[in-house]
Amino acid sequence: MKRIILFIGFILFISLSSCEKEEVFNSENSIRDDAGNIFPLDFNPKRIISLAPNITETIYSLNADSLLFGVTDYCDFPPEAKNKDKVGSLLDPNIEKITSLKPDLIFMTTEGNSKYTYLSLKNNGFKVFVANPGDIDGIKRMITGIGILTGKKQTAKKLAERIEDERKYFKLENTGIKPKKCLLIVSMNPLITVNRFTYISEVMELSGLENIYNSELLEYPNISYEDVLLKNPECIVYMCDTTNKTLVMETADAIKSRLGVTDAVKNNRIFPVDENIISRPGTRVMECVKLLRLKVF
């Protein structure tokens, strides 16, 4: 359910601006977020709120959590984030609660949050930084922007460089590997997957997997079990709460029942993956790649 909420948020948050994906730096004296908002480099917020789990994870990764005074109900990693004041859901956060925390900066994303929330916050006079980490380059921009605004510029630079170094390493590793035809299942009912324009598909590619639904027009298309049978994936990766062992087994059984004649099922190449680590474009991106590679190869 959390995952579906995130995708609904992505649909609702129509493009906030026409700015292209480029470096977060706007000039020598300011930076620009992915919605075109300008922030002077001497702006040093002391009380910030995160409205997305991947942003919360980034703030903790930068050791800037002392500035964090509020998070959403879905911000559950690292575990310490659960102790922060809650401001409600991603799509409909509690504006009164946010106001009571007196933030001087609010971080949000285009995937998890809605345009309505963005406009409400702006209309109430809040400074809002919008990140659009739809791919690994977007993750690096997000890390850089958050690092600059929280006084962790050098930490952010090193983290972004590490992600880039690991991306290059995995691309090199894939040179001698034939990609495995893979179905990535976001949801079983309805059956939903991803196309090539998603962050998840980029993670799959780095993991040595060929997304069999790369060419779909929608980023998160509904597909049929019959079509999956025709495409005959070599492996199937399904997103779920991996701490719920009953759910993991029930989902695997459902896949075997509906897709039993595929090579993936015949060869027992069905793999659950933590829905949070794969669906959150953030600082754990390369952990996700490593996890998928270990499972599949």
pLDDT tens figures, 267-297? 999 999 999 999 999 999 999 999 999 988 8
* Cα-trace Rg, the chain: 20
Residue 150 CA from chain centroid, whole number: 21
Let me know: does 84 contact 69? Beta carbons within 8 Å: yes
pLDDT tens figures, 209-255? 999 999 999 999 999 999 999 999 999 999 999 999 999 999 999 99
Domains and CATH numbers, the chain: 2-167 (3.40.50.1980), 177-296 (3.40.50.1980)
Question: Treating both helix axes as pointing N-terminal to C-terminal, what angle do 199-206 and 136-149 enclose, rounded to 10 degrees?
Answer: 110
User: What does the longest C-alpha to C-alpha distance in the chain come to?
Assistant: 61
Local confidence band at 20 (pLDDT 50, 70, 90 cut-offs):
very low
pLDDT tens figures, 130-154? 999 999 999 999 999 999 999 999 9
Residue bearing tokens 């980490």? 133
pTM: 0.89
CA–CA distance, 187 with 83 (Å, rounded to integer): 30
Q: Is the peptide bond before 190 cis (omega within 30 degrees of 0)?
A: yes
Beta-bridge partners for 237: 184, 271
Rounded to 5 degrees, φ, ψ at 151 are: 75, 20
Let me know: does 56 contact 83? Beta carbons within 8 Å: no
Let me know: does 49 contact 70? Beta carbons within 8 Å: yes
Which residues are CB-contacts of 96 (< 8 A; sequence separation ≥ 6)?
none
